[in-house]
Structure 1
Amino acid sequence: MDNKVVLITGGARRVGAGIARFLHAQGWRILLHCRASVTQAQALADELNAIRANSVAVYPLDLLQTERLPELVAAAVQQFGRLDAVINNASSFFATPVGEFTESAWLDLLGSNLKAPLFLAQAAVSELQKTQGVIVSIADIHVDRPFPEHTLYTVAKAGLVAMTKSLARELAPAVRVNAVAPGTNIWPDDGGIFTQEKQQEILGSIPMGRIGQPDDLAQAIHFLLEASYLTGVVLPVDGGRSVVL
């Protein structure tokens, strides 16, 4: 396992950083992608490299610059000699009420949640075929149960689920393609629609009695990375919330 290499997009903080810490503890080497959070990404890399030297590298890039996505794959191979997995974690999330759609919101939400994962997968295929690799994306249980006023986000995540299933078929058996679908996993930094009242309402609807944590997603992702007969799977990681919604 110490030889395996994973590229994690949006890995500098929050859920991405939690996934990085978890997989690193399992022996993975990591190319940590970030956009603006370079300081946080480098601090995380320093923390993990102190545990195991030369096991984490950082590569800053705006994922909306589609033509540059092959640079991430090349950086992983140059740094570590191979690429075994891609985790599409980077994501934009904000409200887009009907009547207020903008082109910039479309480009941001569809770009980060669908276009970038798809084109990154295309860029990574040749290297992943060499290692019998895996792509895991982070979808959302609200693809089927949309949040009000989040149509563009919902459309993007629905496309990500369709991408997962389509690529799973096209790339098998050399490359497996799966996704995890969280419910609530860490409240957004800005609060937004998740007022204290809304948080309590959501918490009360989760059979497991708590919101998810990065380790919950990371454990599921690690399972999908290792489960050699699973492809085309969208695994809910929501404490049972999708059962009662």
Structure 2
Amino acid sequence: MNPSKVALVTGAARRIGAAIVRELHAEGWNVVIHYRGSADEALALAAELEASRPQSAHTLQADLADADALINLAKKAHERWGRLDALVNNASVYYPTPFGQITAAQFDDLAASNVRAPLLLTQACAPLMSDGAAVVNIVDALAQRPARGFAAYHAAKSGLWTLTEAMALELAPRLRVNGVAPGHMLWPEYAEMSEEDQRRELSRVPLGRLGGAKEIARCVRFLLSDDAAYMTGAVLPVDGGLRLK
């Protein structure tokens, strides 16, 4: 059996998720790359990683809004190498919902990926995880300081923040649960931003720039390492100071 530790990362085919996968793989982890619709990107990422270390990456497709699919995802992730040492709940739906126009379908969509799936997937994975394993939830630096126009999204991410602390209590002392709260790391994909819009957003960041996906990946790597062995229930902001303004 391959002795490498195994991490399941959700929403891992692209952007921050792919950066997390690459960071952990470079540290010697075997990685399970979850995706919903980005099959080509997931397969290409797995091929890239396996070219450097054969039999070290695996892809699994699942709709995280489907509760039964979450149970199956946990089982298949564990079955691939016969162990599961980390879960990174990264997958997230993100778009504006102007107040007064929010629909039940939008709220359910945002809640499904940002709070419901992390809860149910962690619950499904926990019995399969090794003693001393860890969960990392990707939250949001503004989860408790919501921006106008994103009420539903921030409600879900705020719930995930609280859930991180609650699960840390529920799963201690066998498993650790922590979170990372990104700020402006990458420009959003739901709409094009003009140069003026980008300048306006960066003016809100004390460090004056985007953080990039690798900053989040490094923090996840730390929280999964022995260097964070006495940390649980913590949410670390990686936001260039955005939350301060």
Shared fold, TM over 0.5? yes
Unmatched runs of 5 consecutive residues or more in structure 1: none
CA distance in 2, matches of 1:117, 1:13: 18
User: Does the C-alpha gap of structure 1 residues 47 and 2 become closer, same or farther in structure 2, counting only changes over 3 Å?
Assistant: farther
CA distance in 1, matches of 2:161, 2:229: 20
TM-score normalized by the length of structure 2: 0.95
Matched, 1:35 2:47: no
Alpha-carbon displacement from aligned partner over 1:117-155 (angstroms, at most 9, x marks no partner):
000010011122x33211101111111221111100010
Shift of 1:222: 0.8
Q: What secondary structure, in the 3-state scheme, does the structure 2 residue paired with 1:174 have?
A: coil
Q: Please tell me whether the aligned partners of residues 146 and 154 of structure 2 are also in contact (alpha carbons under 8 angstroms).
A: yes
Shift of 1:189: 2.0
CA distance in 1, matches of 2:190, 2:165: 32
Matched, 1:66 2:84: no
Matched, 1:81 2:82: yes
Q: Please tell me whether the aligned partners of residues 95 and 190 of structure 2 are also in contact (alpha carbons under 8 angstroms).
A: no
Aligned equivalent of 2:151:
151
Q: Please tell me whether the aligned partners of residues 185 and 213 of structure 2 are also in contact (alpha carbons under 8 angstroms).
A: yes
Stretch of structure 1 that moved more, 96-105 or 112-121:
96-105
RMSD: 1.4
Matched, 1:209 2:208: yes
Aligned equivalent of 1:224:
223
Aligned equivalent of 2:172:
172
User: Amino acid of the residue matched to residue 205 of structure 2?
Assistant: I
Q: Please tell me whether the aligned partners of residues 2 and 27 of structure 1 are also in contact (alpha carbons under 8 angstroms).
A: no
User: Does the C-alpha gap of structure 1 residues 97 and 13 become closer, same or farther in structure 2, counting only changes over 3 Å?
Assistant: same
Aligned equivalent of 1:142:
142
CA distance in 1, matches of 2:201, 2:144: 17
Shift of 1:215: 0.7
Runs of 4+ in 1 over 6 A off after TM superposition: none
TM-score normalized by the length of structure 1: 0.95
User: Amino acid of the residue matched to residue 176 of structure 1?
Assistant: R
CA distance in 2, matches of 1:171, 1:54: 30
Q: Please tell me whether the aligned partners of residues 83 and 131 of structure 1 are also in contact (alpha carbons under 8 angstroms).
A: no
Alpha-carbon displacement from aligned partner over 1:13-43 (angstroms, at most 9, x marks no partner):
1111111111111111101000000111000
User: Amino acid of the residue matched to residue 174 of structure 1?
Assistant: R
User: Amino acid of the residue matched to residue 184 of structure 2?
Assistant: T
Shift of 1:195: 3.9
Q: What is the aligned residue count?
A: 242
Stretch of structure 1 that moved more, 71-80 or 7-16:
71-80
Stretch of structure 1 that moved more, 224-233 or 183-192:
183-192
Q: What secondary structure, in the 3-state scheme, does the structure 2 residue paired with 1:165 have?
A: helix
Unmatched runs of 5 consecutive residues or more in structure 2: none
Q: What secondary structure, in the 3-state scheme, does the structure 2 residue paired with 1:205 have?
A: coil
